[in-house]
C-alpha cells in the first residue's frame, strides 16, 4: 500500500489538527477521526469536509492506519492507548503514531516503552504541531517530529506536498516536546509582562489603544502581546481560556525544571501571576481575570479603553506637514545610537555639529563631513535645535546644566529634543527648569526605539510629546530620523511613559530569551535549531529574534549594554512604585541585569544577561558544533550504499562522449585526488579547442586565483569561461560542466568565482558545494563541516583555517556558511542538504530524486564600475534576454535592490537617470518578440514604453490585477499587439507581482503522463505516431491541431540513430509551439545503454521493452530503468506479451508472439512501478496477415480492469491499417 493511499487517523481534535486533517483530505487521503465527547466542536467543523470518516472509538479510527496523529493531555493517556478500545489494538505492522501532548518527556518515554512491548513493529514519534506566525511561514501548519531518524524521515512522506504544511524531523525522541516547553516558557513570561506593561502605561495616563498601536510596531513587541492585548481591552470571553491554557502549559514547564534541577526565576514569578489571575471565581466556574487585575493594579483597563481616542500617527503626519524648516542642528552624545542618528541627519542634508566625550567617535563623525566641538557649551551656540542622546538622566543633566553646559548659551526660542531613555518624572522636572530660564527654550520629549541599524538608516520608531509650538519647530528633524513617528498628548513626560512601557517589555523579553535558551541548553537541545523554530512560533518576540543570535555566537560586542537595562528597568521599578503598580516579572528581570552588571558584564551587550544563567548552572547557550570523537562518529554512521553507482554512470558517459568536466583549480593542490588528467596552465581559445578535440573525460585549468584579490579572481574566471564558451562553439556537439575547485577547509573566493562563471555561462540549476576530502580528514556530517585532528573532529569554524586573514569565516554549519559568505543573499533555509543518511541508506536514485525536486532559482548579479563595464553588461544581458525569450522562458531584468543616494537631491536624480537609461537600453536592444511585458514602477513603465518600445500611443484594455493596468501599445511600437502591463510600485503585497507573472507566464508543455491522465478522465484514447523527419513531425502536429486532439510523437531507436539529437530537438520544439498538448516518447527501448542515453535526451517518456525476455528478467530490466526515469520525472511504458510483425527493422515471428497474461501483468505492474502497460491481444506491428486481425476483446476487457485498478494507462500497439470499426471497440471505457 502506498503512503498516499494508506488511511490517516486523528485521535482527538483541536482547531489546528482540524486544518491538518483537512489538508490530508484535500490530498486525496482516507482520513478517519475519533473525538472524545468534550472535544466535539472541532470535530463538527471537520465533518463539513467531504470524505471524513468519524469513528466511535480510538481502535476503530486507528485500525490499519499508516499514520495516527494523537492529541492528548497527560490525563487518560493510558486508557486512550491501552484501554479496551484503545489505539494500540487497532495499529497494524509498520504504523507510525505521532503524538502531540502535554506529557512530560519521562512520561512519553514510558509510553513509548509500553507501546513497544505490546506492538514491536509500531513506531512512536513525538510531535510539536503549531501554526506558523512568521512572515515566511505565516498560516502554515508546522510539524516538528522527533524520534528514530529513519521513522521520522519515513513520516515526512505523509506530509510532503500537503497544502500549507511544513514538516521538520528534529532529534531523538522527546526533542519536540522539549522544544515546545521552551516556547511555553516564553509564552508564559510574555503574557504576564504584557499585563504589567499595559496597566503601568494606563496608570501613567496613556490611552491603552495608543500603547498597543505603538508597542506592536516597536522593539517591545511580542506575538503574545499582539494577540493578548485586544482580548484584554475588549473583555473578550476567550481571555479566560487564553489564561487557563497559558497557566497549564507553564505548570508543565515548572515540573520539568524541577526534574532537571534548573532555575527559572522569570517563569516562576510569572506562573504565580497566572495562578493569581485565575483566582476570580463566580459560582462554580472561573470569572474574568480582569476583576483580579483591577483589584491588584487599581486600574479599570476596559473603561480606559472606552475613553475618547486619537490617532497618534495622524497627529505626527499633521505635525510634519506643518513643521518649520531647520538646518543647523546640535547633537550631544555619539554613542551607538547617537552616531547613527547624527550621521543620518548629515546624509539627509542637515548641518550637524556634534559633541561626545569619546574623541575617536568625534573623529569618525568628522570623517563623514560633520562638524565637531569641544564641549556642550560650544555646540549650543547658534543652533536651532539641540538633540540630547546620552545614556542616562545624570549625563543629560550634566550636558545641559553642568560645567560648560549647553543651557546658558542657548539662543532664545531654541528647541531641545531629549531622545535619551529617562524617567517621565525627570522629563517633567527638566521642562519646568527650562521654562524657568524665561528664554522660550522649548523641550520635546522624544525617546526612540529600533536599534543601531535603524538609527543609521533613519527608520527609528519615535514617540514624541511637548507643546504644539515645540513640536512644530522640530517636526522636520524627527521625521528625518523616523520611519514611524507618534505624537502623544499629555505634554512632556507622556512620550517617555510610552518608552518606559516599551523598555519594560524589551528588558523582560531579553531576559526571558536568556532563560529560555539556557533552559534549552539544559535540555540538551541544539540551541541554534531551537532559535530557528522559535522564529515561527507564538513565543517569539522582537528582542528574541534580535538578541539570541548574539548568545548563539557568544559575541557580546555592545550595541545596547547590560547597564542600559539596569538603568531602564530601574526607571520602571521606580515609576511603578510611585504609581503603586506591582510589576513582579520586570522586577525579576531587573535583578538579572543587576546580577550581570555585578559580575563584570555591565559594558557587554545586553544579551550577555544569559551569562548569569550560564554561570549559575554551567550550561552553554553558544550554538557551536561540539568537537567529536572521530572513531565514535564514523562508527555511528549508516553503512555505505552496497552498490557502486559507477556501473550506471560509465555507460552514460560513454554514450555522451562529448560531455566534459572542466575543473578551475584555485591552487595546484586540487589535483591530489586524480590521475591521468591533463592540467592546463594557459587557456587561450586555441589551446582549449585542442583539448576538447581530444575528447577527455575531464581536464584541469590551474587558475591559482586564491592568491588574487576577489576582483581579479572574478575577472580571471570570466575570461576563462568566455574562452571555454568560444572553444566549445568551434567543436560541434561539445558540452561541459564547470567545477570550481576551492579548499576543503572552506577558503577561497566564494561566491565571487561562482557569480563570475554564471555571468558568462548563464543560470545554473543549482550550486553543489562538496568540501568533503577523505584523505585530508575533512568530513561533513549533519551539515557541520569538520577537520580531523588526530582522533578528534573539530568544527571547521573553530580551526585556524577559519581565522584566515583573507578568507576567514565563523560558521561550521555549511548552510550557515553559505549565508555568511553570500552576505545574506542566499539564506540558510534556502540551502538544501544531501545528508549521509540519504546517500548511504537510499542511494543514488534518492539523491537524484532529491536534486530533481529542488526548485530552480536563478541569481543574476550585475556589477558595473565604468561606462565600459556598463556597455559590456548591457550587451551580455541583451544576449541572455534574447536567448531566454526565444526559449519561451519568462525573463526578469532586475536592478539592484540597494538604495544608492547622492549627497544632494540633484545627485540622487542623476543616479536614478543612469540606472533607468541602462534599463531602457537593454530593452531597446532586445529584438526577440516576448509573450508579454511587465514594467514595475511608474517612471520605469513610462520610460520603457516611450523610449525602449517606441510607443507613441496606447489603449488601456483593462486590469491585469486590481490597480494594475493592461495596455495595448500602438501599431508604431516595436512589439505591436504584445500585452504591456504597467505595474505601479505602490500596488499590492509582496506576492502581487508573482501572481501577475503566473497568470501570463508561458504554459509549460504537457507531459505524457498529463496527456494520458486527461484522456483517462475524458474517456478518450490518444494516438502515438512514429516520426522520422521534420515533415512527419509537422504532419502529426498539424493533424492534431486540426482535430483539436492531443498526440504523442514517438521516436524509435533506429530513427534516433539516424536523426540523432536534432530529431529529438525538432519534436520538442514542435510540442512547445503546438496549440494542443503534444509530448515526445522514446519507443521500444530494448537496449539498456540506449535507454540510459534517452533519459538524458529530453524525452517526456520512455518505453522499456523487455518483452523478448522471461518474466523475471523483464521485471528486473524494467525496474532498473523505471527507477532512474521516475527520478527524472519521466513516464515509463513497458510491454508484457509480444506482438508479431515488423516495425522499423525489428521483426518478431508469429511463433515468438504471445498474448499478455492477466496474472503476470498484475505481478509485473506491482514489481516495476510502471505508468503504462503495452499488451498483446492479437494486435501486430506492421501489416496484419491475409486472414485479417484476430483481436481478443475479452482479454482486453480483463486487462483494462486490472490497469484501472492499478492506476496504470493501457497501451495498444499496432493500430496502423486497422479500420475505424476495429479501433472503436478498443477505445470503449
Cβ contact 1101:1065 at 8 Å: no
Length of the chain: 1229
Q: Select from 804, 828, 660 the least CA-distant residue to 742.
A: 804
**CA 559/CA 964 separation, integer angstroms:** 43
Backbone φ and ψ of 100, nearest 5°: -110, 105
Count other C-beta atoms under 10 Å from residue 377's C-beta: 19
Closest CA relative to residue 489, chosen from 458, 509, 468: 468
CB-CB contact of 156 with 167 (8 Å): yes
- Angstrom distance (rounded) from CA 428 to CA 496: 10
Q: Which of 495, 493, 494 is nearest to 485 (CA)?
A: 495
Residues 366, 369, 374, 376, Cα dihedral to 10°: -120
> How far apart are the two ends of the chain, measured CA to CA in Å?
26
> What cell was used for 373?
566641538
Give the three cell numbers for residue 145: 517530529
For the record, the C-alpha cell of 17 comes out as: 489538527
| Nine cell digits for residue 1174 | 503495452
- Strands 792-795, 628-629: pairing is antiparallel
What is the 3 state secondary structure string of 1046-1087?
CEEEEECHHHHHHHHHHHHHHHHHHHHHCCCCEEEEEEEECC
Which residues carry out catalysis? 499
Helix (H, G, I), strand (E, B) or coil at 583: coil
Tell me how far apart the alpha carbons of residues 452 and 220 are, in angstroms, rounded to a whole number. Answer: 15
The Cα 984–Cα 941 span in angstroms is 8
d(C-alpha 1147, C-alpha 976), whole Å:
55
Distance CA(596)–CA(172), nearest Å, equals 34
Put residue 976 in one of left, alpha, beta given phi > 0 → left and psi -120 to 50 → alpha. beta
φ, ψ (nearest 5 deg) of residue 950: 60, 35
Q: What are phi and psi of 903, to 5 degrees?
A: -75, -25
Phi, then psi, of 793 in degrees rounded to 5? -110, 120
With H, G, I as helix, E, B as strand and everything else as coil, classify residue 152.
helix
Q: Is 659 helix (H, G, I), strand (E, B) or coil?
A: strand
User: Could you tell me which of 589, 600, 476, 471 has the C-alpha nearest to residue 220?
Assistant: 589
CB 836 within 8 A of CB 637: yes
What own/partner pairs with CB < 8 Å and gap ≥ 24 does 600-603 have? 601/556, 601/562, 602/561, 602/562, 602/563, 602/566, 603/558, 603/561, 603/562, 603/563
The DSSP line for 228-251 is: HHHHHHHT-THHHHHHHHHHHHHH
Distance of alpha carbon 336 from alpha carbon 654, whole angstroms:
63
φ, ψ of residue 531 in degrees (nearest 5) = -60, -45
Cell of 195: 499585563
Of 116, 114, 121, 29, residue with least CA distance to 69 = 29
Amino acid at each position: 500500500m502506498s503512503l498516499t493511499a494508506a488511511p490517516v487517523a486523528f485521535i482527538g481534535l483541536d482547531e489546528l489538527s482540524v486544518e491538518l486533517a483537512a489538508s490530508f483530505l484535500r490530498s486525496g487521503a482516507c482520513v478517519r477521526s475519533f473525538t472524545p465527547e468534550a472535544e466535539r466542536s472541532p470535530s463538527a467543523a471537520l465533518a463539513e469536509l467531504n470524505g471524513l470518516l468519524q469513528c466511535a472509538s480510538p481502535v476503530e479510527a486507528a485500525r490499519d492506519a499508516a499514520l495516527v496523529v494523537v492529541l492528548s493531555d497527560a490525563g487518560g493517556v493510558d486508557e486512550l492507548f491501552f484501554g479496551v478500545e484503545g489505539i494500540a489494538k487497532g495499529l497494524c505492522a509498520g504504523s507510525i503514531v505521532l503524538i502531540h501532548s502535554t506529557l512530560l518527556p519521562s512520561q512519553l518515554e514510558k509510553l513509548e516503552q509500553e507501546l513497544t512491548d505490546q506492538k514491536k513493529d509500531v513506531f512512536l514519534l513525538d510531535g510539536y504541531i503549531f501554526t506558523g506566525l512568521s512572515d515566511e511561514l505565516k498560516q502554515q501548519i508546522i510539524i516538528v517530529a522527533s524520534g528514530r531518524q529513519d521513522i521520522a524521515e519515513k513520516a515526512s512522506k505523509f506530509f510532503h506536498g500537503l497544502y500549507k504544511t511544513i514538516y521538520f524531523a528534529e532529534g531523538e525522541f522527546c526533542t519536540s516536546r522539549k522544544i515546545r516547553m521552551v516556547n511555553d516558557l516564553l509564552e508564559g513570561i510574555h503574557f504576564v509582562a504584557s499585563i504589567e506593561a499595559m496597566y503601568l502605561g494606563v496608570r501613567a495616563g496613556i490611552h491603552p489603544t495608543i500603547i498597543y498601536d505603538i508597542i506592536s510596531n516597536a522593539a517591545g513587541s511580542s506575538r503574545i502581546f499582539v494577540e493578548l492585548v485586544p482580548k484584554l481591552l475588549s473583555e473578550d470571553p476567550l481571555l479566560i481560556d487564553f489564561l487557563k491554557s497559558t497557566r497549564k502549559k507553564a505548570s508543565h514547564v515548572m515540573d520539568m525544571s524541577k526534574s532537571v534541577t534548573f532555575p527559572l526565576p522569570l517563569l516562576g514569578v510569572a506562573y504565580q501571576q497566572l495562578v493569581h489571575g485565575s483566582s476570580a471565581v463566580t459560582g462554580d466556574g472561573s470569572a474574568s481575570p480582569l476583576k483580579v487585575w483591577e483589584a491588584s493594579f487599581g486600574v479599570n483597563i476596559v473603561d480606559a479603553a472606552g475613553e475618547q481616542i486619537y490617532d497618534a500617527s495622524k497627529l505626527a503626519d499633521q505635525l510634519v506637514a506643518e513643521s518649520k524648516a531647520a538646518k543647523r542642528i546640535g547633537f550631544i552624545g555619539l554613542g551607538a545610537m547617537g552616531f547613527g542618528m547624527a550621521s543620518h541627519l548629515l546624509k539627509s542634508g542637515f548641518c550637524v555639529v556634534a559633541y561626545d566625550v569619546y574623541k575617536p567617535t568625534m573623529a569618525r563623525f568628522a570623517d563623514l563631513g560633520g562638524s565637531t566641538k569641544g564641549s556642550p557649551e560650544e555646540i549650543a551656540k547658534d543652533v536651532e535645535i539641540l538633540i540630547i542622546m546620552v545614556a542616562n538622566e545624570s549625563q543629560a543633566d550634566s550636558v545641559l546644566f553642568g560645567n560648560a553646559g549647553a543651557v546658558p548659551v542657548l539662543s532664545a526660542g531654541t528647541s531641545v529634543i531629549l531622545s535619551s531613555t529617562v524617567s517621565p518624572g525627570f522629563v517633567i522636572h527638566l521642562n519646568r527648569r527650562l521654562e524657568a530660564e524665561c528664554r522660550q527654550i522649548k523641550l520635546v520629549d522624544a525617546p526612540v526605539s529600533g536599534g543601531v541599524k535603524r538609527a543609521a538608516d533613519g527608520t527609528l520608531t519615535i514617540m514624541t510629546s511637548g507643546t504644539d509650538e515645540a513640536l512644530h519647530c522640530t517636526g522636520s528633524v524627527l521625521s528625518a530620523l523616523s520611519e514611524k513617528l507618534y505624537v502623544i498628548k499629555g505634554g512632556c513626560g507622556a512620550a517617555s511613559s510610552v518608552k518606559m512601557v516599551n523598555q519594560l517589555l524589551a528588558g523582560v523579553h531579553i531576559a526571558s530569551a536568556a532563560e529560555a535558551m539556557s533552559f534549552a541548553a539544559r535540555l540538551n537541545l541544539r540551541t541554534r535549531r531551537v532559535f530557528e523554530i522559535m522564529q515561527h512560533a507564538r513565543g517569539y518576540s522582537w528582542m528574541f529574534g534580535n538578541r539570541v543570535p548574539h548568545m548563539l555566537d557568544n559575541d557580546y560586542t555592545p550595541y545596547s549594554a547590560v547597564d542600559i537595562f539596569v538603568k531602564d528597568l530601574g526607571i520602571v521599578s521606580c515609576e511603578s512604585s510611585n504609581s503603586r503598580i506591582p510589576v513582579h516579572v520586570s522586577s525579576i528581570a531587573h535583578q538579572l541585569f543587576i546580577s550581570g552588571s555585578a559580575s563584570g558584564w555591565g559594558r557587554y551587550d545586553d544579551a550577555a544577561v544569559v551569562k548569569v544563567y550560564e554561570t549559575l548552572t554551567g550550561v552553554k547557550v553558544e550554538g557551536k558544533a561540539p568537537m567529536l570523537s572521530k572513531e565514535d562518529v564514523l562508527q555511528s554512521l549508516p553503512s555505505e550504499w552496497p552498490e557502486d553507482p559507477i556501473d550506471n554512470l560509465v555507460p552514460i558517459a560513454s554514450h555522451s562522449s562529448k560531455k566534459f568536466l572542466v575543473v578551475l583549480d584555485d591552487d595546484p593542490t586540487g589535483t591530489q585526488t586524480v590521475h591521468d588528467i591533463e592540467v592546463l596552465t594557459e587557456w587561450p581559445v586555441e589551446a582549449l579547442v585542442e583539448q576538447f578535440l581530444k575528447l577527455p573525460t575531464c581536464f584541469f585549468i590551474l587558475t591559482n586565483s586564491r592568491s588574487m584579490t576577489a576582483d581579479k579572481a572574478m575577472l580571471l574566471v570570466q575570461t576563462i569561461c568566455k574562452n571555454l564558451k568560444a572553444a566549445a562553439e568551434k567543436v560541434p556537439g561539445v558540452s561541459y560542466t564547470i567545477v570550481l575547485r576551492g579548499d576543503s577547509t572552506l577558503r577561497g573566493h566564494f561566491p565571487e568565482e561562482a557569480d563570475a562563471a554564471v555571468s558568462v555561462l548563464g543560470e545554473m540549476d543549482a550550486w553543489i558545494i562538496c568540501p568533503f576530502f577523505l584523505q585530508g580528514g575533512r568530513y561533513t556530517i549533519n551539515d557541520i563541516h569538520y577537520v580531523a585532528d588526530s582522533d578528534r573532529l573539530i568544527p571547521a569554524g573553530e580551526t585556524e583555517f577559519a581565522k584566515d586573514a583573507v578568507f576567514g569565516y565563523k560558521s561550521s554549519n555549511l548552510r550557515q556558511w553559505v549565508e555568511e559568505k553570500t552576505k545574506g543573499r542566499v539564506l540558510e533555509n534556502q540551502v538544501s542538504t544531501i545528508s549521509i543518511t540519504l546517500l548511504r541508506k537510499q542511494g543514488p536514485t534518492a539523491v537524484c530524486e532529491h536534486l530533481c525536486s529542488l526548485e530552480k532559482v536563478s541569481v543574476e548579479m550585475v556589477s558595473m564600475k565604468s561606462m565600459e563595464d556598463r556597455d559590456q553588461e548591457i550587451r551580455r544581458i541583451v544576449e541572455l534576454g534574447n536567448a531566454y525569450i526565444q526559449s519561451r522562458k519568462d525573463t526578469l531584468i532586475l536592478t539592484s535592490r540597494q538604495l544608492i543616494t547622492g549627497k544632494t537631491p540633484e545627485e540622487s536624480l542623476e543616479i536614478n537617470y543612469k540606472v533607468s537609461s541602462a534599463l531602457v537600453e537593454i530593452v531597446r536592444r532586445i529584438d526577440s518578440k516576448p509573450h508579454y511585458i511587465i514594467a514595475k514602477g511608474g517612471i520605469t513603465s513610462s520610460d520603457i514604453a516611450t523610449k525602449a518600445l517606441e510607443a507613441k500611443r496606447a489603449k488601456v484594455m483593462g486590469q491585469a490585477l486590481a490597480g494594475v493596468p493592461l495596455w495595448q501599445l500602438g501599431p508604431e511600437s516595436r512589439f505591436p499587439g504584445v500585452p504591456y502591463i504597467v505595474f505601479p510600485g505602490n500596488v499590492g503585497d509582496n506576492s502581487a507581482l508573482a501572481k501577475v507573472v503566473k497568470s501570463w507566464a508561458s504554459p509549460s508543455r504537457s507531459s505524457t503522463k498529463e496527456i494520458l491522465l486527461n484522456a483517462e478522465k475524458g474517456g478518450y484514447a490518444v494516438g502515438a505516431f512514429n516520426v522520422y523527419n521534420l515533415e512527419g513531425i509537422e504532419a502529426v502536429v498539424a493533424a492534431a491541431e486540426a482535430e483539436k486532439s492531443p498526440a504523442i510523437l514517438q521516436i524509435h531507436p533506429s530513427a534516433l540513430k539516424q536523426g540523432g539529437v536534432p530529431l529529438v530537438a525538432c519534436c520538442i520544439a514542435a510540442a512547445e509551439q503546438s496549440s494542443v498538448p503534444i509530448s515526445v516518447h522514446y519507443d521500444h527501448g530494448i537496449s539498456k545503454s540506449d535507454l540510459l542515453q534517452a533519459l538524458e535526451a529530453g524525452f517526456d517518456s520512455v518505453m522499456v521493452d523487455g518483452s523478448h525476455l522471461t518474466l523475471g528478467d523483464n521485471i528486473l530490466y524494467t525496474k532498473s530503468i523505471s527507477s532512474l526515469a521516475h527520478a527524472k520525472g519521466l513516464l515509463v511504458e513497458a510491454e508484457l506479451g509480444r506482438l508479431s510483425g515488423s516495425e522499423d527493422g525489428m521483426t518478431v515471428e508469429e511463433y515468438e508472439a504471445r498474448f499478455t497474461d492477466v496474472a503476470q501483468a498484475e505481478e509485473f505492474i506491482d514489481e516495476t512501478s510502471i505508468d503504462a502497460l503495452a499488451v498483446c491481444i492479437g494486435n501486430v506491428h506492421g501489416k496484419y496477415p491475409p486472414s485479417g486481425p484476430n483481436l481478443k476483446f475479452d482479454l482486453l476487457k480483463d486487462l483494462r480492469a486490472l490497469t484501472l485498478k492499478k492506476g496504470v494507462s493501457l497501451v495498444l500497439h499496432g493500430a496502423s491499417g486497422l479500420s475505424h470499426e476495429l479501433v472503436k471497440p478498443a477505445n470503449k471505457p
